[in-house]
Amino acid sequence: MHPKIEDRMDDAAEAIHHQADRMTDDSRFKNIAEHTAQYMASTANYLRSHDANDMWQDVTRFVQRRPAECIAAALVIGMLAGRAFRGGEDV
């Protein structure tokens, strides 16, 4: 049986947090690593506690509250995907 994505995210968050703890200074990189680990653990918990229907409703509410940002994000993602599939060639 394959581990669930939320379990893998927890494992990755724990590994990142462990590496951040090993850093001796309070560098910006350490802070970024700690925030990344916290975000990953939070996302794993969200995935555990919500089914697909709940997640779809959350996405729908977000798009309704921020339509312009969602359209802009979709355009950027589309442009990046287009570049990736073209191999980054300029046309």
* 39 and 63 together in one domain: no
Q: What is the pTM of this model?
A: 0.67
41 and 9 in contact (C-beta within 8 Å)?
A: yes
* 40 and 65 together in one domain: no
Please tell me the total count of domains within the chain. 2
**For 22, which DSSP code?**
H
* 58 and 90 together in one domain: yes
**Residues in CB range of 40: below 8 A, 6 or more apart:** 9, 10, 12, 13, 16
* 6 and 38 together in one domain: yes
Residue 9: domain span:
1-49
* 29 and 64 together in one domain: no
CA dist 75 and 23 (Å) reads: 39
* 31 and 43 together in one domain: yes
Helix/strand/coil for 4: coil
pLDDT digits (tens, 9 = 90+) for 62-79: 999 999 999 999 999 999
Mean pLDDT for all residues in the chain: 90
